[in-house]
């Protein structure tokens, strides 16, 4: 049976060059980078090369890159790390985020909000999934210590105006002569496709994920601007400049570094993916009456197409497509086994019924036009069956 993968937003296959770079560090160059002998120094050199590769992609100092076990850990480190530091300095800590953040941001914020000295404001988004910039500006108070707005949404692919948000923050700090709020962005979904130069974006913290950019699972990174206060989550031997203890996952980190190197050559893939995505959407609208797009038409990731199929239960459609060899998902991969009402689709105004009739298709650099045609034809067939 033909198999077509259309779930690149959930995870990407490891690039062949990335895998080749990783392989020696599983068995041949297996040293602990904290060891002073030759084996350890080989591992340390590999760690440093990877750190420089990530820093080069971000346009930052290598010392500003911390490696973590995942984007989830990086988000937790950013949020808890800053908030806990400031709770020791300030009586009240106010945090601003958006209504469509990933669970690795909303869950830590819910934990922080249990402290009576912490408050969280969730800024609404438009029907297209774009943050209400005016509402954001109005939400900033003298207690606002941290802002966390994702670069691109994992469900509907909407790309947020990060530079504009940063400009508002910078203007507020200049006006009030304050050092806060700090600005964190979760760029896990965005990094492969958009500008991640931190000087252009003017962010203080940025989260990256290896397996969203053709690197391995189990590794992430957090950019922390020099001078940004951060209390560690993990305590031990003080690796990662004392901010993330634990022996470094050298194969994974090398893979993340190589994935960042490969991004330099991805322009041709990005354009191709966008064209295929647009072709897919146009074919869906032609061949499946009543189908509609969730999220912004233009300000969205090149490979993302979140489609509402009225009257069709998404879980049924996903199972039947899988039976035809087509892999897709409904909403966040982290919640794919649950039938919960997506908070993202709710935030853009969908009813529970329509949210549970929405399916995310996400394409990558190995997707072809022949794949798209196959998926469309299978969709037409399966939806006719489900309507019956």
**Catalytic center residues:** 334
Cα(243)–Cα(226) distance, integer angstroms: 13
In angstroms, rounded to a whole number, what is the distance separating the alpha carbons of residues 287 and 299?
24
* Strand, helix or coil for residue 41: helix
Cα separation, 99 vs 129, in Å, equals 9
> What is the C-alpha separation between 136 and 113, in angstroms, rounded?
19
Residues 6+ apart with CB under 8 A from 65: 51, 54, 55, 58, 221, 222, 223, 224
Cα–Cα distance between 386 and 318 in angstroms, integer? 11
CA 74/CA 68 separation, integer angstroms: 6
**Angle formed at CA 171 by CA 170 and CA 172, multiple of 5 degrees:** 90
DSSP state of 295: S
Do 362 and 304 form a contact (C-beta atoms < 8 A)?
Answer: yes
CB atoms under 10 Å from CB of 39, counted, come to: 14
162: buried, middle or exposed (CB in 10 Å: 19+, 13-18, 0-12)? buried
Distances in Å between the Cα of 59 and the Cα atoms of 65, 229, 244 are 11, 20, 22
| Sheet with strand 292-294: strands edge to edge | 292-294, 304-308, 358-362
Q: Are 371 and 279 in contact (CB under 8 A)?
A: no
Residue with tokens 């991004």: 263
């Amino acid at each position: 049976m033909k198999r077509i993968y259309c779930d690149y937003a959930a995870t990407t296959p490891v690039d062949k060059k990335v895998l080749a770079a990783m392989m020696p560090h599983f068995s041949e160059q297996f040293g602990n980078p904290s060891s002073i002998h030759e084996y350890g120094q080989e591992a340390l050199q590999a760690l440093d090369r990877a750190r420089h590769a990530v820093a080069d992609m971000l346009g930052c100092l290598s010392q500003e890159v911390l490696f973590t076990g995942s984007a989830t850990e990086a988000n937790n480190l950013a949020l808890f790390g800053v908030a806990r530091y400031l709770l020791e300095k300030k009586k009240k800590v106010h945090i601003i985020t958006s209504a469509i953040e990933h669970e690795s941001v909303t869950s830590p914020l819910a934990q922080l909000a249990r402290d009576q000295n912490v408050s969280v404001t969730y800024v609404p988004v438009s029907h297209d999934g774009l943050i209400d910039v005016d509402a954001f500006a109005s939400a900033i108070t003298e207690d606002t210590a941290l802002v966390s707005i994702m670069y691109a949404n994992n469900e509907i692919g909407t790309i947020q105006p990060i530079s504009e948000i940063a400009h508002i923050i910078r203007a507020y700090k200049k006006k009030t002569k304050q050092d806060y709020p700090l600005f964190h962005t979760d760029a896990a979904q965005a990094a492969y496709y958009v500008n991640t130069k931190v000087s252009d974006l003017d962010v203080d913290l940025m989260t990256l994920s290896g397996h969203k950019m053709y690197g391995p699972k189990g590794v992430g990174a957090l950019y922390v601007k020099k001078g940004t206060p951060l209390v560690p989550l993990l305590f031990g031997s003080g690796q990662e400049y004392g901010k993330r203890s634990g022996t470094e996952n050298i194969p994974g980190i090398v893979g993340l570094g190589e994935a960042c190197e490969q991004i330099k050559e991805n322009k041709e893939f990005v354009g191709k993916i966008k064209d295929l995505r647009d072709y897919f959407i146009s074919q869906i609208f032609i061949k499946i009456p009543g189908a509609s797009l969730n999220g912004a038409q233009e300000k969205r990731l090149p490979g993302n197409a979140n489609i509402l199929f009225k009257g069709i239960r998404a879980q049924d459609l996903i199972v039947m497509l899988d039976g035809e060899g087509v892999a897709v998902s409904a909403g966040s991969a982290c919640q794919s086994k649950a039938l919960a009402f997506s908070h993202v689709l709710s935030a853009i105004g969908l009813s529970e019924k329509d949210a549970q009739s929405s399916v995310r298709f996400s394409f990558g650099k190995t997707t072809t036009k022949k794949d798209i045609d196959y998926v469309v034809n299978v969709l037409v067939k399966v939806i006719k069956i489900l309507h019956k």
